[in-house]
Amino acid sequence: MTERERSCGTAVLLSRLAVGDERAWRELVDRNSGVVWGAVRAYSANRADAEDAWQATWLLLAENLHRLRDSEGVSAWLVTTARRESMRLARARRRESPSGLAGLLAETADGTETPESSAVRSLSAARMAQAFAQLSHRCQQLLRIMAVAPDASYEQIGTALGMARGSIGPKKQRCLRALRLRMLASGSPEAVEGVAV
């Protein structure tokens, strides 16, 4: 989806919302949920914190939407708010750092085997999780958002992470290269043959 198509679509949703069409709100949520969840997870130490920041973000949008003057600003407002609320919560709850997949492993390592935890424990997934966890926090944040919200624009990603739009592409390449190197170092054949996670 291009920026223009995204903006036009949001403009239509906002006009429907203005006449009380609540289905438009659900579409607005569906359209932005990937990048917002990616942003709160990138800056939250665990899923519980991420859910709180996520809920605060949508409540804030609901009560401030009428103040946003143009449709192009909605997505940027959402990801900026998601990041700010996640960081604010991390400070308030004294969290040390956002979790990567290693943190996810720890969160599910309580003896309760779920389909999710068994999936992450599969060999190839574990290798990728290990390689991912060895990346810098900045790379983890960037790749997480790009992975869960592949349709997000560089503009959205830059806003979500507080990075200049022009630096997203080069940073992405460096982070992917680092990921490949770590997978190679772990002897993972997926690093050269494509990863079947």
Partner 1 sequence: MSAGVGGSAGIDESTGIPEELRSLGRLFRRTDPTPDRAISAAYGAARRLVRERDSVGVLEPLGDSALRCRAVEESSDVAEESSGAAEVRTLSFAAPGRLVELELRPARQGMFLARGIVLSRAGQPSPAGAVIVRHGQGECRGELDDCGGFAVPGVPAGPICLRLHTRRADGLVTHRTGSDWFVC
- Please tell me whether residue 73 binds partner 1 under the rule CB under 8 A: no
Which of 135/159 has CB closer to partner 1?
A: 135
- Please tell me whether residue 31 binds partner 1 under the rule CB under 8 A: no
End-to-end CA gap in the chain: 26
16: Cβ contacts below 8 Å, ≥ 6 apart: 23, 24
Near partner 1 by CB under 8 A: residue from 20, 111, 170, 187? 20
**76: phi then psi, degrees, rounded to nearest 5:** -65, -40
Which of 111/150 has CB closer to partner 1?
A: 150
Interacting span for partner 1 (CB under 8 A) from 6-14, 21-29, 154-162, 163-171: 21-29
- Least Å from the CB of residue 69 to partner 1: 16
**Per-residue mark of binding to partner 1, 114-133 (x: CB under 8 A):** --xx-xx----x--xx--x-
Near partner 1 by CB under 8 A: residue from 2, 19, 94, 170? 94
**Per-residue mark of binding to partner 1, 134-173 (x: CB under 8 A):** ---------xx-xxx-x-----------------------
DSSP state letters, the chain: --HHHHHHHHHHHHHHHHTT-HHHHHHHHHHHHHHHHHHHHHT-SSHHHHHHHHHHHHHHHHHHGGG--STHHHHHHHHHHHHHHHHHHHHHTT--S---HHHHHHHH-SS---HHHHHHTSHHHHHHHHHHHTS-HHHHHHHHHHHH-TT--HHHHHHHHT--HHHHHHHHHHHHHHHHHHHHHTT-THHHH----
Near partner 1 by CB under 8 A: residue from 39, 53, 79, 168? 53
Applying CB under 8 A, the residues found at the interface with partner 1 are: 17, 20, 22, 25-26, 29, 33-34, 37, 41, 47, 51-56, 58-66, 85, 88-89, 91-92, 94, 96, 101, 104, 108, 116-117, 119-120, 125, 128-129, 132, 143-144, 146-148, 150, 176-177, 179-181, 183-184, 190-197
